Structure 1
Amino acid sequence: MIELAKNHLKKVLEVCGANRNCEYYPCHFDGQVCLWCFCPFYPCEDEELGEYVERKDGTKVWSCMNCFWVHREEVATEILKEILELTKDKSIDEAIEFLDNHELMLEIKEKVKDKYPNR
C-alpha cells in the first residue's frame, strides 16, 4: 500500500472505528464507534438518549453522557448512509449548509431510530 493510502486509511479508521488513540476513549463504552464523536443531532432532547442536567450556575444543558445509541456500529453507519443519500448531489459546503437544519437532522435521527431503536 502506498504511503498516501496508508495515511488516508489511518484517518478513516480513527474516525469510523473505535479510536483507541483518543485520550477520552472510551467515553461511552469499550468498542464504541467514534464516527459521531460530536453528535449531529445535539441537542436531540430525546429522553431515551439523554437528559437536561443542571450546571453549577443553575442553568440547564442537554447531556448525552449516557447515550450509547449513536455509537453502535449499525446506527452510526445508518446515520452516515442517510446523510450521504441526502447530500450526494451537493458540494461539501452545500451539504453542510443543507444539513445545518436541526429539524432535518432530527428527522434523520427518528428515521434511523425507527430502524435501530435504543436498547
Structure 2
Amino acid sequence: MDGGAKGLRGGLETQNYRLVTHRSCEFFPCHKGVPEDTYNCLFCFCPLYLLKDQCGGNFRYLKNGVKDCTNCSVPHGPDSYDRIMEKMGLVMEGAKMLPEDL
C-alpha cells in the first residue's frame, strides 16, 4: 500500500503521517497492551469497525448487538497503519452503493 500512499502524497521522503500520538487526550492510552512510546492514535475511531467479524481485531459482541473493541489494540500498535491499510479495500467495497440504489 505504500506505493499508492506515496503516490498520493507526491513522493514524500518521510512517513510521519503514519503515526500520531495524542498524549494530551483525556483517554490516552485508551487501550491496554501497547507501549506508550509506540502508541498510535491515528485511527482513534477504527475504520475497520464496520467490517464486523472480518476486521481481524480482538473484539466481542455485547448482548445488545454492539461491537465492543475494548480489548483490541489493532489500530493503536506500531504496525497499525499497515494493518489498517491492508483491509481498506474491504471497507471501500462495503461502502459502495449497490446498482439498485443508484
TM-score (norm 1): 0.47
Shift of 1:100: 4.2
Give the length in aligned residue pairs. Answer: 74
Q: Does 1:62 align with 2:67?
A: yes
Shift of 1:68: 1.1
Partner of 1:6: none
Q: Does 1:43 align with 2:50?
A: yes
State the SS of the aligned residue for 1:34.
coil
The higher-RCO structure (CA 8 Å, 6+ apart) is 2
Q: Does 1:101 align with 2:89?
A: no
- Structure 1 window deviating more from structure 2 (17-26 vs 38-47): it is 38-47
Amino acid at match of 1:51: R
Q: 2:27 aligns with which of 13, 24, 27?
A: 24
Q: CA RMSD in A?
A: 3.4
TM-score (norm 2): 0.53
Determine which structure has the larger helix proportion and give its number. 1
5+ residue gaps, structure 2: 1-15, 97-102
Contact 1:50 1:65 survives alignment (8 Å): yes
Shift of 1:69: 2.1
Paired residues for 1:78-117 under 5 Å: 78-79=82-83, 82=86, 100-102=92-94
Partner of 1:52: 61
